[in-house]
Structure 1
Amino acid sequence: MSLSSLSSLSFFRSLRSNNRQFAVVGLGRFGRAVCMTLHHLGYEVLGVDSDERRVAQALSDEIASHALQIDTTDPSALREAGLYEFDTVIVAIGNYVQESVITTLNLKEGKVPHVVAKASSEIHGKLLKRVGADHVVYPEHEMGCELARSLTRPGVLERFELDPDHSIVEVVVPAEFDGKTITELDLRKRYGLNLLAVCRNDQFEINPSPITRLQKGSLMVVIGDNRGIDQLPV
């Protein structure tokens, strides 16, 4: 596992389970989606943008608990708006690199513990990391990869990337595996994969017995090399 993936996992582990407040800077499509999802999940969300129309729209659409128009490149404006008091701030400014980087720098210098920043390119991401972003996301890139995989590997329902080469995936059990036990399949030897769970009666059984027989069309969760995952029968 790469150092970057270990850093990402450490970041998510560091988020406190009782954290109920988030701030989202930038209310474009990505920022609105983050606000809406967090708000609907019951979290306290502050939406922030320099565009008064976007702030008004966020309030009108009720996608955030509160929304403010401020210049996030101004540290004093961030302080007055209370952004430094949030445990987690998502910088959703993707198309304005300078504004994104300066905002991220201001938040980290303001001692915000967790800053997640959206990057529009690899260079943008490196700059965000350099100024202290705890986690950088590339939503366009990730969605493109996910679409390509869903088109070419329809049996893979969900995927969590540990790093560029390893993933945890939820897979539909292929017909070739029907009626065979976990021992007989020997996924580790054939594909370099470890089976974490199988779905039986709509419930996942974690660490199933080696004599468990798989049924086609049911679900299993495996972890391992992406090349092995791609070699699984359809």
Structure 2
Amino acid sequence: MKKEFVVIGLGRFGGSIVKELIELNADVMAIDKSSEKVDDYAGIATQAVTADTTDESVLRSLGIRNFEHVIVAIGENIQASILTTLMLKEIGVKKITVKAQNDYHEKVLRKIGADQVVHPERDMGIRIANNMVSNNILDYLELSEEYSIAEIIANEKLVGFTLVELDVRARYGINIVAIKRDKHILVSPQAIEKIEFEDILIVIGSDADIQRFEKKELH
């Protein structure tokens, strides 16, 4: 059975979510106040609707509460984002993910019941900055203010050593949770697994520990 989503706000962020969800074989109702934007997604989304989502009666008429997950991707209009989230909670939507413009916006969204709040611009900035600072960090995903997941490319200093010999958990406080090798991913690799040249290590830990490992072992 296909998963069903609603995406409200068809700017760059919301639009990319619609396209990706459709690629993943989900049903998507795409909503925006702009009829031009809705027209752009009429041939992409399962259903595209022009509507004011700050109006509770409009949301009810569209049957939004029957969808399992609603993504509020409204751009610059913080008031519309907050009101829409509030209306979605009022009608009983099970899961609501909202794009926040700043930390204050996030605080308000969490107080009114948003299940998940994302900062796409801030998070992308963090990822790009970490990629630029290090030649070895391929990607960086912030889990919280202190913890992250990073993709780190193995260099000649690590090649030929097993995970138990590297013992990064004891030495650095990080965990290697998977290894990307060619087109394969080794999930929860065994302690006897040897690192090969250009393996990509997927590590999880505090930002400070990841940076300490990267500087000590990969430079």
With normalisation by structure 1, the TM-score equals 0.85
Q: Would the aligned equivalents of 1:19 and 1:87 in 2 still touch at CA under 8 Å?
A: no
Map of 2:184 onto structure 1: 203
Q: Displacement of 1:200 after TM fit? A: 5.0
| Counterpart AA for 1:110 | I
Residue by residue, what CA displacement relative to the aligned partner does 1:205-225 show, whole Å, maximum 9, x if unpaired?
Answer: 333333332223112222212
Q: Quick one: which of 104, 116, 125 aligns to 2:106? A: 125
Residue by residue, what CA displacement relative to the aligned partner does 1:77-120 show, whole Å, maximum 9, x if unpaired?
Answer: 11111112211111111311111100000001100000111111
Q: For 1:210 and 1:142, locate their aligned partners in 2 and report how far apart those are by CA, in whole Å.
A: 32
Give structure 1 stretches of 5+ with no counterpart: 1-17
Q: CA RMSD in A?
A: 1.8
Residue by residue, what CA displacement relative to the aligned partner does 1:10-48 show, whole Å, maximum 9, x if unpaired?
Answer: xxxxxxxx6611011111111111111111221111111
- Deviates most, 154-163 or 214-223: 154-163
Q: For 2:166 and 2:155, locate their aligned partners in 1 and report how far apart those are by CA, in whole Å.
A: 12
Q: For 2:53 and 2:186, locate their aligned partners in 1 and report how far apart those are by CA, in whole Å.
A: 47
Q: Tell me the secondary structure at the aligned position of residue 150 of structure 1.
A: helix
Map of 1:168 onto structure 2: 149
Q: Quick one: which of 24, 32, 39 aligns to 1:49? A: 32
Q: Quick one: which of 13, 21, 26 aligns to 2:9? A: 26
Q: Quick one: which of 174, 177, 186 aligns to 2:158? A: 177
Q: Tell me the secondary structure at the aligned position of residue 140 of structure 1.
A: helix
Q: Would the aligned equivalents of 2:127 and 2:141 in 1 still touch at CA under 8 Å?
A: no
Shift in alpha-carbon separation, 1:200–1:119, aligned structure 2, 3 A: closer
Q: For 1:148 and 1:69, locate their aligned partners in 2 and report how far apart those are by CA, in whole Å.
A: 37
Q: For 1:156 and 1:64, locate their aligned partners in 2 and report how far apart those are by CA, in whole Å.
A: 35
Q: Displacement of 1:201 after TM fit? A: 6.3
Q: For 1:195 and 1:56, locate their aligned partners in 2 and report how far apart those are by CA, in whole Å.
A: 46
Q: For 2:180 and 2:3, locate their aligned partners in 1 and report how far apart those are by CA, in whole Å.
A: 31
Q: Tell me the secondary structure at the aligned position of residue 74 of structure 2.
A: coil
Map of 1:157 onto structure 2: 138
Q: For 1:166 and 1:215, locate their aligned partners in 2 and report how far apart those are by CA, in whole Å.
A: 26
Residue by residue, what CA displacement relative to the aligned partner does 1:148-186 show, whole Å, maximum 9, x if unpaired?
Answer: 111112322343433221223232112211222222222
| Counterpart AA for 2:41 | A
Q: Tell me the secondary structure at the aligned position of residue 84 of structure 1.
A: helix
Q: Tell me the secondary structure at the aligned position of residue 142 of structure 2.
A: strand
Map of 1:6 onto structure 2: none
Q: Would the aligned equivalents of 2:2 and 2:27 in 1 still touch at CA under 8 Å?
A: no
Matched residue count: 215
Q: Would the aligned equivalents of 1:158 and 1:170 in 2 still touch at CA under 8 Å?
A: yes
- Deviates most, 174-183 or 74-83: 174-183
Q: Would the aligned equivalents of 2:136 and 2:152 in 1 still touch at CA under 8 Å?
A: yes
Q: For 1:23 and 1:135, locate their aligned partners in 2 and report how far apart those are by CA, in whole Å.
A: 15
Overall identity of the aligned pairs, in %:
37
Give structure 2 stretches of 5+ with no counterpart: none
Say if 2:18 is the partner of 1:35: yes
Q: Displacement of 1:196 after TM fit? A: 2.2
Q: Would the aligned equivalents of 1:174 and 1:216 in 2 still touch at CA under 8 Å?
A: yes
Q: For 2:139 and 2:200, locate their aligned partners in 1 and report how far apart those are by CA, in whole Å.
A: 11
Stretches (4+) displaced over 6 A: none
Q: For 1:200 and 1:100, locate their aligned partners in 2 and report how far apart those are by CA, in whole Å.
A: 42
